[in-house]
Amino acid sequence: MRLRVLFLLTLFPVFAVCAPLPVPDQGPALRIQGSNTIGAALGPALVKGLMEHQGLQAVHTEPAEGANEQRVIGKTRQGKTVTIEVAAHGSSTGFTALKKSTADLAASSRPIKDSELVDLEPLGDLKSPEAEQVIAIDGLAIILHPQNPLNTLNTEQLAQLFNGEISTWEAVGGVGGPIHVYARDDQSGTYDTFKDLVLRLRGKPLVPSAKRFESSEQLSDAVSQDPKGIGFIGLPYVRQAKAVAIVDGDSQPMLPLNSLIATEDYPLSRRLFFYLPPSGHNPWAKALVDFTQSSKGQAIVAASGFIAQQVQAMDVEPRASMPEGYQTIAREAQRLTVNFRFEEGSASLDNKARQDLQRVVAYIKSHDKLDKQVTLVGFGDAKNDPQRAALLSKLRAMAVRRELVKSGVVLREIRGFGAQMPVAANTADEGRIKNRRVEVWVY
């Protein structure tokens, strides 16, 4: 799918601090534990942004006692020191720390597990919209030497390539003989992402012969100089290498475009979370969550190399493989880079969708599209009964309509395309959830 972004509008609440946050007499003002993907750079950058927004001076980061641990330190105008601790040992450690009361906020690069949810029930419902906060979208590019003729790989092939089961380029329709695998090191959040999205889902470890790199830039440059090389990398680091389009199940091939990662259609995209305990939460934790969702916070997300939760309008080029009705919409309207998705096994919007509703409504109002200028398009996952899938896809679009109507939006049309145009494989829950989605189109 070729997408041309026409314009960009950041639509987030303005973050205002009503009063200075309390400064404890001793110990840290806030303790964050969890994901290395978040905690290595993004978390400290957001903390620094909040501290500066609070008016603290000489804000800086320094290493703490343990590996992958940092302190962000600032001073009030009265000369009091404020310290926030960030420990990045993996998503599961954040939930363990919440249970042990050794953290005030958990950073996670995956949704909370049911077992963790039960474990943490004394702190309140961590799946509630206030507790589960999507702060950014992460995406990976699969890179090759720029002269490698391959343009597309599917997720099954990726798992086999990086596991070593496929060891020659000829086996995937390429040329060049033996494949050289490049990967980030074990401490890397990028490696965690790749394991979660490709290897772990298929029960495959990384091939032991993979060349490992601590630096994203060095990995990308090494692949771009090796005609036999393949690697994975965060979006900002493609550099001179060639990114390939990825297919998951029956999806169309998708390049790692920011717009496709923002909608989470791109197969190697995932959500990053903060989890804020609802019961008796730390005021600095709540302030950090609010700051992260603001325009200033999301600008830090983008500057850190992740995909901010912004609303973009884009042209979508009609293709013969699309249903005729969808092609008509694509010719006449522009798609917003927001996909509304749903709780597992439910027609209820998930927590990111609830956040996105506010952003979409703000976009619609600011562009004077309240009166019959918006069409909702629903999709579902494949079932034995196509009519059931078509009905459910339309019902999901109607669920979004109910929420938009509350804000004065009068819809032009609601369409349901059933299980057509999947963006992920329907063989696992993760894929089925991605396929149950509602797109927003504006005229």
pLDDT at 292 over 70: yes
319 DSSP assignment: -
Over 90: is that where the pLDDT of 216 sits? no
Which is more confident, 38 or 385?
A: 38
Phi, psi of 195 (to 5 degrees): -55, -50
Q: What is the mean pLDDT of residues 80-105?
A: 96
Per-residue pLDDT at 20 = 87
190 or 273, greater pLDDT: 273
Please give the pLDDT value at position 357: 95
pLDDT tens sequence across 136-165: 998 999 999 999 999 999 999 999 999 999
What 3 state SS string does 261-313 have?
HHCCCCCCEEEEEEECCCCCCCHHHHHHHHHHHCHHHHHHHHHCCCECCCEEE
The pLDDT assigned to 343 comes to: 81
| 273 φ/ψ angles, rounded to the nearest 5 degrees | -125, 150
Of 273 and 388, the one with more pLDDT? 273
More confident residue, 310 or 307: 307
- pLDDT number for residue 3: 39
At 18 the pLDDT is: 52
What is the rounded average pLDDT of the residues 188-199? 86
User: Does 274 or 91 have the greater pLDDT score?
Assistant: 274
Please tell me the predicted confidence (pLDDT) of residue 10. Answer: 40
The lowest-confidence range among 118-132, 166-180, 353-367, 426-440 is: 426-440
Label each residue of 30-51 as H, E or C: EEEEECHHHHCCHHHHHHHHHH
Q: CA nearest 107: which of 45, 200, 49? A: 45
pLDDT at 204: 94
Q: What is the mean pLDDT of residues 74-82?
A: 96
Mean per-residue pLDDT for 198-223? 93
Q: DSSP letter at 196? A: I
Alpha carbon separation from 364 to 202, 254, 349 (Å, rounded): 41, 27, 19
The Cα–Cα gap between 396 and 24 comes to 47
In order of their start, the domains of the chain are: 3-131+276-303 (3.40.190.10), 138-247 (3.40.190.10), 318-442 (3.30.1330.60)
β 413-416/374-379 pair status: parallel
Q: Is residue 15's pLDDT more than 60? A: no
Alpha carbons 302 and 255: distance in angstroms, whole number: 19
How far apart CA 294 and CA 288 sit, in angstroms, is 10
> Which percentage of the chain shows pLDDT scores above 70?
95
- The pLDDT value given to residue 345: 66
